[in-house]
Amino acid sequence: MADGSASKAGPWSRQGAVFLVLGAVSGFGMAVAALYFIAPVDGPPPAIPFQDKIFHAVAFACLTGPGVLVLPRRYLWFWLAHMVVLGAGIEWVQGRSDLGRSADIVDFIADCVGIALAYGVGRWIRGRFEAAA
């Protein structure tokens, strides 16, 4: 590009670093989702009350947030719908598995809380950066 903005998107630029971090956060959310939502139920009892619900909200916030931060606004509803259906799908899989898991509407609500928080915080952050630009 004539204004030099093409170099701003390189892997060693600030934008590249931000995308790398956001990708890592999203990957962490996927790892938590795989470990805590699909794996067989094993291990010690919860250390804190509502630990499972907190994990659901944090995992879905980590999965949703990077998309809210980097996707153009016209794709956000697609991304949010994708995340909601992922949460519902995980509960459906848990209800059909023989891994000691069961479907729980409250888990799905916790997923939606994480999605909503990520959307709200992500839009707030974008608004601050877009206003400064």
Q: What is the pLDDT of residue 85?
A: 93
Q: Return the pLDDT at 105.
A: 96
The domains of the chain are located at: 51-133
Q: Residue 133: what pLDDT?
A: 67
Using alpha carbons, select from 20, 23, 28, 126 the residue that is nearest to residue 68: 126
Q: Using DSSP, state whether 22 is helix, strand or coil.
A: helix
Alpha-carbon distance 59 to 4, whole Å?
37
Using CB atoms within 10 Å of the CB of residue 40, give its burial: 0 to 12 exposed, 13 to 18 middle, 19+ buried: exposed
DSSP 55-118: HHHHHHHHHHHHHHHHS-GGGHHHHHHHHHHHHHHHHHHHHH-SSS----HHHHHHHHHHHHHH
- For the chain, 133 residues long, the average pLDDT of each consecutive 10-residue run is 49 76 82 74 76 91 92 91 92 83 92 97 90 73
CA-to-CA distance for 35 and 24, rounded, in angstroms?
A: 16
* Structure confidence at residue 37 (pLDDT): 72
| Per-residue confidence (pLDDT) for residue 65, from 0 to 100 | 93
